Amino acid sequence: MKGNVIVGQSGGPTAVINSSLAGVYRTAIDRGAKKVYGMRYGIQGLLDEQYLDLSKHIKNDLDVEILKRTPSAFLGTCRYKLPDIHENQEIYVRLFEILEKLNIECFIYIGGNDSMDTIKKLSDYAILTGKKQKFVGVPKTIDNDLALTDHTPGFGSAAKYIATSTKEVIRDGLGFSYKKKQVTIIEIMGRNAGWLTGASALSRGEDCDGPDLIYLPEIAFDIEKFMARVRKLLEKKDVVVVAVSEGIRTADGKYVSELSATIDYVDAFGHKQLTGTASYLANLVSQDIGCKARSVEFSTLQRSAAHLASRVDVNEAFMVGGAAVKAADEGDTGKMVVIDRVSDDPYQSATGIYDVHKIANDEKLVPREWITKDGTYVTEEFIDYVWPLIQGDYPCVMVGGIPRHLYMSTGAPRGRRGNKEERERETGDYLQ
Amino acid sequence: MKGNVIVGQSGGPTAVINSSLAGVYRTAIDRGAKKVYGMRYGIQGLLDEQYLDLSKHIKNDLDVEILKRTPSAFLGTCRYKLPDIHENQEIYVRLFEILEKLNIECFIYIGGNDSMDTIKKLSDYAILTGKKQKFVGVPKTIDNDLALTDHTPGFGSAAKYIATSTKEVIRDGLGFSYKKKQVTIIEIMGRNAGWLTGASALSRGEDCDGPDLIYLPEIAFDIEKFMARVRKLLEKKDVVVVAVSEGIRTADGKYVSELSATIDYVDAFGHKQLTGTASYLANLVSQDIGCKARSVEFSTLQRSAAHLASRVDVNEAFMVGGAAVKAADEGDTGKMVVIDRVSDDPYQSATGIYDVHKIANDEKLVPREWITKDGTYVTEEFIDYVWPLIQGDYPCVMVGGIPRHLYMSTGAPRGRRGNKEERERETGDYLQ
């Protein structure tokens, strides 16, 4: 490689998106890149010329390892969709000026569907205008809803967190069950795709029954049938645990979370906020059945719990990052690296590469045949598919009892002591 | 020891209450107990003659190790307060008949304030009526609100989970912050005592700023001052993170969670349900300031996340269990084992023993001088106190990618495959 590499992160963070960043960095250096730049906050930041020299932040091999264990997007992400080329050519001109100024040869973008759209548009523009830069995408999303790749980096770690936490929540409930019926509703991320919610089934094993019911957004949710199921289960057992996707909808397309009056606002990205599905259902159970009912939301932890990352996932994320640089360096453009499952047992995977034009915003949902006929659980095929992806640990480097992360130095002194703000607080002068 | 030992667990579960159970079992066996019985669901179950022979469930040294890594109460717990002796003598007669039938010499009860009340009443009754059994309590609670002991087993692991998860949530937010202000409110357990909420400050270090504001239940919560603080912080930074206790109350004693109309029901134990503090405040911030605001509840995971247990905590929990058996065997009764901090740096602890009559339902709150003057953070003294308790890991035994727990065999086949219910689901016959 004669020129430089630039890499960005986009969309929702995951526990291993920085492992992909580390893979990009490592392979770029190994292949002779002069400089590896990082876009701050993805393409949106780059348009404002917000970028940095990664070697200033990843100073040695230990930093690479810490980066692989750091959740969320080290470079920061954005949710920014490039306009179509014919709509606003000026923005492309500006971007390519920046790329040329930085002598960029390979442009790597780590993200979900929207990011692959960015790769497509930029590579199309480069080909149309005779630019030399190569554009390759690296898949990333906890939701596992990208087409063509067997699964997405980020999904395995989220699934491992969900399976483990579901098991711990089930056990927590069992401790309390004497002469008391109790229902726990666990709410799991996934607006349209039920991969994460289905992963709660992996808590099942010799030492745990797993959830009693699992409701994915792929199947219309029937509140009356749900209540009847819970009632029936409570006749047989004292502790009932239900996993629901935040995105479950009734047959008329209404989100269950919308049925509750409390949560009716739209977030900064224009998405309707989907919280409250589990608490709505728990209230319903408590009122109608009269037993104790509680809700648990795994919330943002399911995408940022690097302390429980899957080794398979961390390694694959690193691998796809490196493969993207290799592909771009060898002349590929307008492509996304994918993960191919080479073998199920023993599990083996390898990278492949696909034309991003073929990927184009398809959401990969859980196939109907991987959901039980009655729509309240996932099948063994689903479990067999997810199982290899949660295997193995990637232990954190613990400092002071908690995981160490790689951070961007701001120059300001930080740490347990000597913080000026803190001293001001203690003297009562703070912010007065 | 010539006779037998019986042990029970009471109150809310923790990540290490089973490590205390393992400690009781191991020391009882080592000191020659013929049988070690476990009460199912504490004293309430015992009154119904619900007990088991622990050696049937802890079959070997590996099981002891797995038990130490199993969260929640292996034996099940209750929240049952014994009546005063003069109120209902009959219940005591029945209990002691059971103890005599089982040839119990030592009665060990692992729990919080209510459990120590049980130890007090039973030992008083035994002394008054000339019974030979010895009664010793083992402290347990994530809330750390027991008097006389330096800290309680269970607190350190909860604090480690809270510090780690707070750090991961902060980092998650930072990834998103480009040109967007964002406030995250984290809700942490602790109805009256702020030990757990304060532990969120341990996320602070060289690589993390920690929460910006911490509100404990010990200090009256002023909503207007809180909003002014958040506004002020948003002028300086894009991502503001606030940790609040579920139990924060306004100056007139009203729970903040009660200010929201949605959560106004009482749980099966007669406690008012305190959920919604963080979501109430996040809604307020979102409406009044207009920025993105989200709430995260650590919920039951903070007491059951054995996958992130503190090694100090697991070992101390085991140690106090063993010390209780030793004390009872040596003739102590009406006592609780406590943890004494022998040295801060290096941290060392040892067990001591206290008369339960002195403990009597005092709640140990965070001292005022360990909270900053303005009431929005904890001091360095607080952090120095908690810091040693979250040190060291106690790695789970991972089976199939998730932690293995010790479980009570019901005789029914369990596991990923061959589950009859599951087959019925797949054929659609399930529950029809």
Question: Which residues in chain A are contacts of B183 at CB distance < 8 A?
Answer: none
* DSSP category for residue B367: P
Mean per-residue pLDDT for A354-383? 92
DSSP B307-348: GG-BHHHHHHHHHHHHHHHHHHHTT--SEEEEEEEEEETTEE
pLDDT score at A264: 42
pLDDT score at B414: 58
Residues A138, A337: Cα–Cα separation, whole Å: 6
Residues B359, B376: Cα–Cα separation, whole Å: 30
* Close Cβ partners of B387 (under 8 Å, ≥ 6 residues apart): A400, A401, B202
The helix/strand/coil state of A39 is strand
Q: What is the pLDDT of residues B311-323, one digit of tens each?
A: 999 999 999 999 9
Contact B430, A213 (CB under 8 A): no
The helix/strand/coil state of B96 is helix
* Close Cβ partners of A62 (under 8 Å, ≥ 6 residues apart): none
Contact A60, A3 (CB under 8 A): no
pLDDT score at B422: 54
Cis peptide before B346 (omega within 30 of 0): yes
pLDDT score at B276: 82
Residue B97 has pLDDT above 90, yes or no: yes
Q: Is A232 on the interface with B (CB under 8 A)?
A: yes
Q: What is the pLDDT of residues B29-71, one digit of tens each?
A: 999 999 999 999 999 999 999 999 999 999 999 999 999 999 9
Q: Is A393 on the interface with B (CB under 8 A)?
A: yes
Q: Is A300 on the interface with B (CB under 8 A)?
A: yes
Q: What is the pLDDT of residues A330-341, one digit of tens each?
A: 999 999 999 999
Q: Can you list the pairs that B205-208 forms with residues at least 24 positions away whose Cβ atoms lie under 8 Å? A: B205/A399, B205/A400, B205/A402, B205/A414, B205/A415, B205/A416, B206/A407, B206/A414, B206/A415, B207/A404, B207/A405, B207/A406, B207/A407, B207/A414, B208/A405, B208/A407, B208/A414, B208/B167, B208/B170, B208/B171
Contact A207, A234 (CB under 8 A): no
CA distance B53 to chain A (A): 18
Q: Is B364 on the interface with A (CB under 8 A)?
A: no
Contact A304 B172 (CB under 8 A): yes
pLDDT confidence bin for B262, thresholds 50/70/90:
very low
The partner residue sitting opposite B171, judged by closest CB among A172, A405, A430, is A405
Mean pLDDT, all residues of chain B: 91
Residues A142, A197: Cα–Cα separation, whole Å: 11
Ranges of beta strands (E only) in A156-203 are: 182-188
Q: pLDDT over 90 for what percent of chain B?
A: 84
Q: At what angle do helices B311-329 and B155-174 cross, to 10 degrees?
A: 170
Residues A161, A303: Cα–Cα separation, whole Å: 9
Q: What is the pLDDT of residues A94-138, one digit of tens each?
A: 999 999 999 999 999 999 988 999 999 999 999 999 999 999 999
Kindly list the distances between the CA atom of residue A160 and the CA atoms of A255, A365, B79, B222, B300, in Å, as whole numbers in the listed order.
26, 19, 33, 40, 18
pLDDT confidence bin for A362, thresholds 50/70/90:
confident
Q: What is the pLDDT of residues B280-308, one digit of tens each?
A: 899 899 989 999 999 999 989 999 999 99
Contact A255, A247 (CB under 8 A): yes
Contact B9 A415 (CB under 8 A): no
Mean per-residue pLDDT for A44-59? 96
The partner residue sitting opposite A78, judged by closest CB among B163, B173, B178, is B178
pLDDT score at A114: 87
pLDDT confidence bin for A359, thresholds 50/70/90:
confident
pLDDT confidence bin for A261, thresholds 50/70/90:
very low
Q: What is the pLDDT of residues A134-190, one digit of tens each?
A: 999 999 999 999 988 999 999 999 999 999 999 999 999 998 878 889 999 999 999
Whether A207 sits among the annotated catalytic residues: the reply is: no
Going by their DSSP bridges, the two strands B4-9 and B239-245 should be labelled as unpaired
Residues B129, A233: Cα–Cα separation, whole Å: 46
Mean per-residue pLDDT for A59-67? 97
The partner residue sitting opposite B76, judged by closest CB among A167, A175, A292, is A175
Q: Which of residues 93-152 of B touch A (CB under 8 A)?
A: none
Contact B303, B112 (CB under 8 A): no
ipTM score assigned to the predicted complex: 0.93
Mean per-residue pLDDT for A28-41? 97
**Higher-scoring residue by pLDDT: A195, B265:** A195
Mean per-residue pLDDT for B414-425? 53
The amino acid present at A211, given as its one-letter code, is P
pLDDT score at B147: 86
Q: pLDDT over 70 for what percent of chain B?
A: 90
Q: Is A404 on the interface with B (CB under 8 A)?
A: yes
The partner residue sitting opposite A163, judged by closest CB among B299, B303, B402, is B402
CA distance A109 to chain B (A): 15
